[in-house]
Structures are given as C-alpha cells and as structure tokens.
Structure 1
Amino acid sequence: AGVERVVCVAYDIASCDEVARLARVETSVSAVVGIHPHESDRARAEDIARVEELGRLPEVVAIGETGLDFYRDWADRSNQERLFHEQISLAARLAKPIVIHSRDAAERLIAVLEEHEGELTGGVFHCFSGDRAFLDRALALGFSISIPGTVTFSKKNGKLAEAVRACPADRLLVETDCPWLAPAPHRG
C-alpha cells in the first residue's frame, strides 16, 4: 500500500512506554507519548516526569494525545485542563509538536492553546471535527488537521467538509483510528 512510516500514539503511561519501545526496535515507527484526557484523573506527577523522559528520545516525534474531552466526561474537566496545560508546557520545553484530542470542548480547548500561543510548537488536531471558524483558529496557531473517514458521512458533516475544503493542502493529513471512524460505507 506504499506505507513507509507509522506514527504510534500513546494513550496512558503504560502505552507511552510501549510505543517508545516499539519505535526503538522498528525503524519505520515513530512514537508520540502523552496522556489522553480520559486518563487525567489517574495521572500523577511522576507520570508527567516519565512522559518528559521518554519525550527526549529521538524516536519520539511529538507529545500527545492530549487535549480536552467533554463528550462523556470520563475525567474531571479541571483535571483534564491541568494535564493539558502541563503537556503543552512540556512539549514547549522539548521543542516537540503536540497531537491534540478535542471532543465537545472546542471553545475551551482553543482558549487554552491561545493562552500558550508564544510557546506552542505546532502539531496536529487528531480526528478534526470542527467547522471553518475552528479551522481558521487552529491554523493561525500553527496547527495542521488530520481527518478520519467520518468526513465521508455526508448527512452529518457538511461543516466539516467545508473546513476540509478550505484547509491548505500542506496542513491537511489523513488518518485512521482503526477500527473506529471508518469511511462510508464501511462504518460499523
């Protein structure tokens, strides 16, 4: 299929160690280490220290997946925001981009990023689902967007499709989040 490189993204502290190990032994794999917002209630100071330690490895290309998820509220919102701030600052110290997770939290998430505007090192919005206005704010902060197969769901994604059409090609990535978010007609 012509795939030359895989970027493997961590979810929690255990998967940070695993993706870093995988990237050390597989030359076609790069790692992204960080703590997902769903894990915010369980994240400890030593976990952030471990993310920083792993983040210094050359095979680790970014910090994440970090951000805010208010869809299910599986973690306290204040803990999510605290951890998001910490990981943004960590990425800045390491001069690494960030992989952003945003679900039903767009306004607060972009406000947090704007608070850090001077220290941001860019990155990508994983599974971008925003509208044109959100896209414009993300691009202004130096981010790219990654779109999943859900962009093909014509009945629900008119605003997303409009944003994707407006995105400069050099800031647009295509992703998979297998087995979820498959394109139509493979949904479900």
Structure 2
Amino acid sequence: MFDIAVNLTSSQFDKDRQQVVEDAQAAGLSGMLLLGSDIDESQQVAELATQWPGFCFATAGVHPHDAKSCTPNDLLALKALWQQPQVVAVGECGLDFNRNFSPPEQQELIFDAQLALAAELQLPVLLHERDAHQRFIEIYRQWQDKLVGGVLHCFTSDRVALDTCLDAGLHIGITGWVCDERRGQELQQLVKHIPADRLMLETDAPYLLPRDLKPKPKSRRNQPAYIAHIYQRVAELRGEPLAQMSQQIQTNISQLFGI
C-alpha cells in the first residue's frame, strides 16, 4: 500500500511527526508521497523525505491558492528542488475557482508555467482541481502530449469529469471521501469505472478522516496508517481482491513516479 498524498508539514503533526511515519511503516505501507504546496513547504518536504529514504518521497510545486505570491525566482527555486532524487513530481498544482484565494488568471498562469517545467524536466504532475474543470482540462490538454503523465489528487467530481480526465490520460487519486455514506455516494459508484491501471489511493492526511473508520481517533486527525481502511473499502466497492488491487496500484505508482 502506498499513500500518494500526505501533508506531513501540517502543524497537526508537529508533536509526533516521526511517530506518524513509523506508524505508517508498521501498518504495512510501502511508501508515501509528501505534498509541497508552496516554495517553503516544498523545501521542507524535500528535506523531510531524506529522513526516510526509500519510504518517503516528495513533490514540489505551487498550489493555486498560493499562485498570487509566486514569482519567477520561486519557479527557479522549484526547478532546483526538482533536480533532487527524492522529489518525484511537480505539484500540487492546478486550479481552484471555489474560493479564489488567488485571482483565476494568476492561477492559470502559474499552472501553465508548472506544466511547462514538468514537460521540460519530464516529471509527472500531481494535480488539484476544484470548480474549475473546464479551464483545468483546456490548459492540461495543451501540454498533455509533452508530459510523462499525472494524477488528479483527491477526485470528488462527477462521471463527466472522470471520463474527461481519463481521456486526458490522467490517473485518479481517491481519498477517504469514498468512505462517507452521506457525501461520498456518487464517488462510491464512480470508483468502479476507474480503469485498474489508472487508480491511486491517498489519505490527504491530516485531512479527510474516513467517516466510517472505527474506532475513530480522539483527535479526529487522519494519518497515513489509515490508508489500509481506504484500500479495503475501495476493493469492496470495485469487487476486486484486495491483494490484486494493491499490487496494481503499486505498479501504477512505480510507473508514474519512477519509484
């Protein structure tokens, strides 16, 4: 089992970061990907990943929320990070028109710039999209043929968006949202339609604690060790043996991220 999205720099992990990683290892994880969402965090996760070589890997990128403060020098700093062997993807990058913490035009500019750098360096992309599907796909398609691939992290949209993303060659990242009997019903149906060679799973820890996890932690904090619960639930929804699905996901991750 591999977790493709862990926010290990979150302040929720400040008191026990090492223990969280050790718990993940004890739970049987083969590895996890630490997310960078701005320059400072990207530098932090690149350094953190070196503490657990072969188990922790990192992304480096600028989240759409932070696009407004991204400068050309920041992109140069990112380019240096992408040269480090433990940094295996560009991202988290994309568009978020739900809250517009950065102006949409600036989001689009920085998203396009990161796709250009990913194409130049031949690195996969870890993508974010919320309430911006049409522009997201339009921009991504301009680079699709030049990129080695990507994964849309934390997919919670509808069948039309799923089919469009699959048609664009993207992998699909599914979180514990699929374990929510209230908000996750549509996603529970959609996971059956993701081809086995495009599926990836994630916790997005410390966020999105699976609603049906028992017993629930008193802190209500999600952590990578709980990815096993998500794997089990998705295997049930897809009607696949857990071991078979897990092996295929590991293959998908190895092929996309080179790990």
RMSD value, Cα: 1.6
Deviation at 1:147, TM superposition (A): 0.8
Alignment match, 1:160: 187
Q: For 1:90-113, what per-residue CA distance to the aligned partner results, in whole angstroms no more than 9, with x for missing partners?
A: 111111100001111111111111
2:88 partner amino acid:
V
Matched, 1:134 2:161: yes
Q: Does 1:10 align with 2:36?
A: yes
Q: Distance in 2 between matches of 1:84 and 1:148?
A: 23
Question: Aligned partners of 2:188 and 2:109: how far apart in 1?
Answer: 32
C-alpha contact (below 8 Å) 2:119/2:143 kept by paired residues: no
Decide which structure has greater helix share: 2
Q: Structure 1 residue 69 and structure 2 residue 96: aligned?
A: yes
Q: Verify the 8 A CA contact 1:11 1:65 in the aligned structure 2.
A: yes
Match of 1:24 among 38, 47, 50: 50
Give the distance between the partners of 1:164 and 1:133, measured in 2 at CA.
13
What residue in structure 1 maps to residue 68 of structure 2? 41
The CA distance in 2 between the partners of 1:179 and 1:161, in whole Å, is: 22
Q: Mark the structure with the bigger radius of gyration.
A: 2
What is the distance in 1 between the residues matched to 2:146 and 2:167?
Answer: 14
Q: Aligned pair 1:172/2:205, yes or no?
A: no
Please give the TM-score of this superposition, normalised by the length of structure 1: 0.93
Superposed displacement of residue 24, structure 1: 2.6
Q: How many residues align?
A: 188
Structure number with greater CO (CA < 8 Å, separation at least 6) is: 2
Matches of 2:30 and 2:184, distance apart in 1:
30
- Percent of pairs with identical residues: 38
Amino acid at match of 2:62: I
Task: Verify the 8 A CA contact 1:149 1:176 in the aligned structure 2.
Answer: yes
| Cα contact 1:151–1:157 (8 A) shared by 2 | yes
- Give 1:111-122 correspondences, 5 Å limit: 111-122=138-149
For residue 128 of structure 1, give the secondary structure of its aligned residue in structure 2.
coil
The answer to whether residue 169 in structure 2 is matched with residue 146 in structure 1 is no
> Letter of the aligned partner of 1:29 in structure 2?
C
Of stretches 153-162 and 51-60 in structure 1, the one that deviates more from structure 2 is 153-162
AA partner of residue 68 (structure 2): D
Q: Which runs of 5+ in 1 are unaligned?
A: none
State the distance in 1 between where 2:173 and 2:186 align. Answer: 15
Equivalents in 2 of 1:69, 1:130: separation in Å? 13
Deviation at 1:79, TM superposition (A): 0.5
Q: Give deviations 1:108-137, integer Å, cap 9, x for gaps.
A: 111111122221221111101122221222
CA distance, structure 1, for counterparts of residue 181 and residue 157 of structure 2: 15
Residue 106 of structure 2 aligns to a residue whose secondary structure is: helix
Quick one: which of 111, 115, 124 aligns to 1:97? 124
Q: Is the 8 A contact 1:68 1:84 kept in 2?
A: yes
1:151 offset after TM fit, Å?
Answer: 1.6
